[in-house]
Amino acid sequence: MPNYRFQVKAQDGKIQSGTIAADSATAAAAILRNQGVHVLAVDQDKGKVQGGGLADAFASINSKKPTQKQVLDFTTQLSVMIRAGINLRAALDGIADQTEHRQFKKVINELKADVESGKQFSEALQRHPKLFGPLYINMVRASEMSGSFSEMLDRIAGYIGQQIETRKMVVGASIYPAIIGLMAVTVTVFLLTFVLPKFYTIFEGKEDVLPWATNFLMMLSQTLMKQWPFLLGGLAVSGGAFFAFAKTDVGAFWIDKMKLSIPVLSAMFRSLYITRSLQTMGQLINAGVPMLDTLTITGEISGNKLFEGMWRKVHGSVKQGRKVAEPLQGSGILPKAVVQMIAAGEESGKLGEVLDEISVFYAKQLKDHIKAVTGMIEPIMIIIMGSVVGFIAMAIILPIFKMSQIVS
């Protein structure tokens, strides 16, 4: 029977934690409720890893940077505990006690120490900007002023969950084509460096009568086999130079512009950036964050230099007293229908709700675009792979077939 770690709020208001044996997490929670306590969390106790190698490996993984999934779990659990009437310091203490990730436990303990010293929770979060981004911090700050802390944490958790789901979809859509492309390159290199050289003795001295394709492949094969260190070095240098260029402002702008220009992929990327921008903006406006701060954060989170520049222009325009929709009309980045809905939202005073609805629509469009792109790229990659392999095979087989006819 597995053991489960639990955290409960006793009738006297104190937080208690420990382990309990049960058939499942549901059964463990039921046992605890029968004892008259309020269940805050129940997780399976996986125990400590024994053995030097495995323990070292676990410690290495445990020391890595916390993930957004862990931030999501932290936010959700904190919301539940605050709603249950537990004060922030005790809630952080309880979550830290249950957190196994060493680095994240340290962060939570630092948050608790800052809160105990009299700092606002948003101030404590500012010490960890890479883990809790500007949206998280500003929404928490807004909730501290409005008094809707647990509700705001729920909204933040929902936002983080949607961002994680979107990232999974995009990454998942790119994995299969990448695998097919890698297989095509691997098979091509194998044929050129291991299969074709076995026919050199047959083709040697007959270059004048061989098809151009066979001569070309023989030359390519010999180049790969003799110059492979230089070719690998050239690829490594080119790849390093490209990544270095991509990290510059000019390179990042050029790459982001290409993403919105490639015929097959542009619709998918545009839906992604519109969803991310408007979802962020809607969440911040509904949370009561000032418009100028909202626009700054939206630009930072958009994920595309063109969108970031657009929101920067909107920020400057709003700072001068103009409405959000005015500079968007001439940007050419957002569809006209989106700009019109934003203008209508401003006029009605329901901009946050309108932005939420638009982001939901484009999130659905993003899923459809990902399915369409995946469905299109898969057969294209297979056709390309088959064509390359077929070209090499025919360049080898046809000369042999012609020679056999001449001999016979």
What's the gap between Cα 256 and its chain centre?
A: 16
- From 381, 370, 380, 376, select the one nearest 170 (Cα to Cα): 370
287 close to 139: Cβ distance less than 8 angstroms: yes
Q: Per mean pLDDT, which range of 21-30, 44-53, 334-343, 346-355 is the poorest?
A: 44-53
Give the pLDDT confidence of 289-302 residue by residue, as tens digits. Answer: 889 999 999 998 88
Q: Per mean pLDDT, which range of 55-59, 252-256, 288-292 is the poorest?
A: 55-59
Which residues, 6+ apart, have CB-to-CB distance to 64 below 8 Å? 103
Alpha carbons 96 and 78: distance in angstroms, whole number:
11
Cβ atoms within 10 Å of 254's Cβ, excluding its own: 14
Q: Per mean pLDDT, which range of 72-76, 170-174, 255-259, 303-307 is the poorest?
A: 170-174
Which pLDDT band holds residue 57 (cuts at 50, 70, 90)? very low
Alpha carbons 275 and 307: distance in angstroms, whole number:
12
Which pLDDT band holds residue 75 (cuts at 50, 70, 90)? very high
Which pLDDT band holds residue 56 (cuts at 50, 70, 90)? very low
Q: What is the DSSP string of 38-102?
A: EEEEEEE---PPPSHHHHHHHHHHHTSPPPHHHHHHHHHHHHHHHHTT--HHHHHHHHHHH---H
Beta strands 15-21 and 3-9, pairing class = antiparallel
Q: What is the pLDDT of residue 358?
A: 94
Does the domain at 166-408 match CATH 1.20.81.30? Answer given as yes
Give the pLDDT confidence of 102-147 residue by residue, as tens digits. Answer: 899 999 999 999 999 989 999 999 999 888 988 899 889 888 887 7
Domain edges within the chain: 166-408
Which residues, 6+ apart, have CB-to-CB distance to 251 below 8 Å? 244, 245
Mean pLDDT of all residues in the chain? 83
Q: Give the phi and the psi of residue 18 in degrees, each rounded to 5.
A: 175, -160
Cα dihedral sign, 66-72-75-80? negative
Question: Which structure tokens are listed for 312?
Answer: 């920067």
Per-residue DSSP letter, 147: T
Q: What is the DSSP string of 261-286?
A: T-TTTHHHHHHHHHHHHHHHHHHHHH
Indicate the pTM of the whole model.
0.70
Which pLDDT band holds residue 391 (cuts at 50, 70, 90)? confident
- From 247, 308, 323, 307, select the one nearest 271 (Cα to Cα): 307
Residue 8's DSSP bridge partners are 16, 39
Cβ atoms within 10 Å of 152's Cβ, excluding its own: 25
Which residue is listed with tokens 């240098």?
237
Q: What's the average model confidence in pLDDT over 305-326?
A: 92
Is the pLDDT higher at 63 or at 295?
A: 295
Q: Per mean pLDDT, which range of 60-64, 175-179, 333-337 is the poorest?
A: 60-64
Question: 103, exposed or middle or buried, with CB in 10 Å at 0-12, 13-18, 19+?
Answer: middle
How many helices (H) and strands (E) the chain has is answered by: 17, 3
Q: Per mean pLDDT, which range of 74-88, 151-165, 197-211 is the poorest?
A: 197-211
Is the pLDDT higher at 5 or at 284?
A: 284
297 close to 138: Cβ distance less than 8 angstroms: yes
Instruction: Find the angle CA(47)-CA(51)-CA(54) to the nearest 5 degrees.
Output: 80
Give the pLDDT confidence of 152-186 residue by residue, as tens digits. Answer: 899 899 889 888 888 888 887 778 778 878 888 88
